[in-house]
Amino acid sequence: MGFLSVLTMAQRLVAERAAPGATVVDATAGGGVDTLFLARTVGPGGRVYAFDVQEEALARTQKRLLEAGGAGGDGAGTGLAEVLLLHAGHEEMADRLPAEAHGRVSAIMFNLGYLPGGSGTGALDGDGPVITMPGTTLAALAAALRLLAPGGIATVVVYPGHQGGQDEASAVDDWISALPDETVQALLYRFPKRPGSPYLYALEKK
């Protein structure tokens, strides 16, 4: 039967904590899989903020929402939450979310790495996919902890296998290891017999 994938485990952990009507964030919209999941999870009356630096990713996300019955709008009549697509880096989330949402966000999902099949300019050498980078990722994680409500969760899927991925993975590992136990509970879910495979952190704000 096998264990759950890291992506499925991330969604399960979020589904247990994000109630209908909640405010949630997809920090890395990508192809829109997590955005749609969040929109279904919090449903009508909820709100999803989805961030990506690539217009192509936001277009894919909007297409996925439209195909699911939403339009990236208020979600009325679709069973989906209101979704706001933001062409911005996830490190800007604290500035982009309204003040009344600070400290009240139920869940924030990160899926690091790069957009599969993307055509953006490379962040490493100008000749590859746009990848998430350690500096902006750590800034975004710090912002996420400020935005979360007590009991809220941030899930972080880390991809060490691509070029630049191990540097980011090491930075995330070190950052999470240094978090004080009295403010954050951390979970690590990974497959140790698969070196280089993705793994998941879940951070629950106390």
- Look-up: residue for tokens 């139920």? 106
Residue 99 has pLDDT above 60, yes or no: yes
pLDDT for position 116: 74
Residue 70: pLDDT band by 50, 70, 90 thresholds? low
pLDDT value at position 119? 54
pLDDT per residue as tens digits for the range 10-65: 999 999 999 999 999 999 999 999 999 999 999 999 999 999 999 999 999 999 99
Distances (CA, A) of 2 to 35, 71, 154, 191, 193: 26, 36, 25, 11, 14
Q: Give pTM, 2 decimals.
A: 0.92
DSSP letters, 169-184, are HHHHHHHHHTS-TTTE
Q: Give the model's pLDDT for residue 122.
A: 37
Confidence category of residue 2, pLDDT binned at 50, 70, 90: confident
DSSP 62-113: HHHHHHTT--SS--TTTT--EEEEEES-GGGHHHHS-GGGTT-EEEEEEE-S
Q: What pLDDT does 118 receive?
A: 62
pLDDT value at position 115? 76
- Residue for token digits 């990974």? 190
**Per-residue confidence (pLDDT) for residue 131, from 0 to 100:** 86
Domains defined for the chain, CATH in brackets: 6-129+141-205 (3.40.50.150)
What are the pLDDT digits (tens) for 168-196?
A: 999 999 999 999 999 999 999 999 998 88
Q: What is the mean pLDDT of residues 138-152?
A: 98
Decide if 81 contacts 25 (C-beta within 8 A): no
Structural element, H or E, at residue 2: none
Tell me the percentage of the chain whose pLDDT exceeds 90.
78
pLDDT tens for 104-125 read 999 999 999 877 766 554 343 3
- Whose CA is closest to 109, among 28, 48, 51? 28
Decide which of 77 and 65 is more confident: 65
